């Protein structure tokens, strides 16, 4: 019988994170949710307990405040005893038009999605390596594969995050750290509410199922839905003059 995982999940109260937390709970895993809204965290924890989590708790942790990371991990360790898996689904999103108009919003997105996420992953990496290794699974995006008109800033943060995660995997895999980069396309979640779904738009449950598969099998990079792997293989090879012609 499979031993339950002990999981720290940042971003598990909505969207892909919530769908993934529910799937972890349904198979009896032990889960601590990180987030910044206590009422939402408490509701989510109660839901996970009903769904079968062998342990479910929450710890306040704000991705906008890197000074909170170490103490949050300390609290998670007290609750779980140890954790072998850290998952990051939290991120900031805004449209290109919003970011071009609002410099403060742009600064927040650039900082949270790259700098603070890397600092969070570094804290997680150190904790996992201290006990001999584990799994660090982070959501990036297909938006980071090429520079594209509709997602100049958001895509740049995800491109940087993907390269960081790849380097982390190369550097620490032999020491027992499995780094998994998930690259979703458009997913129907509260974060994308109000945007017109493009072709191949996915549901959060579908994406969560694939993420769980990647975690269990240690797949370093997974595009979700899977159709994005061949699509992005083509897009990466398109000349710049072709990319400039399309609002894609």
Q: Which residues are catalytic?
A: 154
- In angstroms, the CA 10 to CA 8 distance is 7
Instruction: Give the CA count within 13 Å in the CB-facing half-sphere of 46.
Output: 6
- In angstroms, the CA 244 to CA 248 distance is 9
Instruction: Output the six-digit token pair for 3.
Output: 């031993």
User: Torsion-angle region of residue 177: left (phi > 0), alpha (psi -120 to 50) or beta?
Assistant: beta
- 30 three-class SS: strand
- In angstroms, the CA 58 to CA 160 distance is 29
Instruction: Output the six-digit token pair for 141.
Output: 């995006």
**CB of 96 within 8 A of CB of 153?**
yes
Owner of token pair 């129907």:
188
How would you list the strands of the sheet with 55-60, edge to edge?
A: 55-60, 30-35, 6-10, 85-88, 134-139, 177-184, 221-224
- Torsion angle, alpha carbons of 227, 162, 181, 9, to 10: -120
Helix (H) / strand (E) element for 184: namely: strand 177-184
Instruction: Quote helix, strand, coil % in the chain, to nearest 5.
Output: 55, 15, 30
């Amino acid at each position: 019988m499979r031993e339950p995982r002990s999981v720290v999940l940042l971003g598990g109260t909505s969207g892909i994170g919530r769908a993934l937390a529910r799937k972890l709970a349904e198979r009896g895993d032990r889960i601590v949710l990180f987030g910044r809204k206590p009422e939402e965290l408490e509701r989510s924890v109660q839901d996970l307990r009903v769904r079968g989590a062998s342990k479910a708790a929450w710890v306040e942790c704000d991705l906008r405040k890197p000074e909170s990371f170490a103490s949050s991990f300390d609290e998670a360790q007290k609750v779980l005893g140890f954790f072998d898996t850290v998952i990051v689904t939290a991120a900031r999103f805004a449209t290109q038009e919003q970011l071009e108009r609002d410099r403060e919003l742009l600064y927040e997105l650039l900082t949270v999605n790259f700098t603070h996420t890397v600092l969070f992953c570094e804290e997680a990496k150190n904790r996992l390596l201290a006990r001999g290794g584990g799994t660090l699974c982070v959501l990036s995006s297909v938006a980071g594969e090429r520079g594209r008109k509709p997602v100049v800033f958001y895509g740049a943060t995800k491109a940087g995050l993907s390269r960081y995660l790849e380097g982390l995997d190369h550097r620490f895999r032999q020491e027992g750290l499995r780094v998994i980069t998930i690259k979703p396309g458009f997913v129907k979640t509260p974060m994308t509410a109000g945007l017109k779904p493009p072709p191949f738009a996915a549901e959060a449950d579908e994406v969560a199922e694939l993420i769980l598969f990647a975690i269990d099998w240690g797949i370093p990079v997974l595009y979700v839905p899977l159709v994005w792997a061949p699509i992005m293989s083509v897009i990466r090879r398109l000349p710049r003059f072709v990319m400039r012609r399309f609002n894609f």
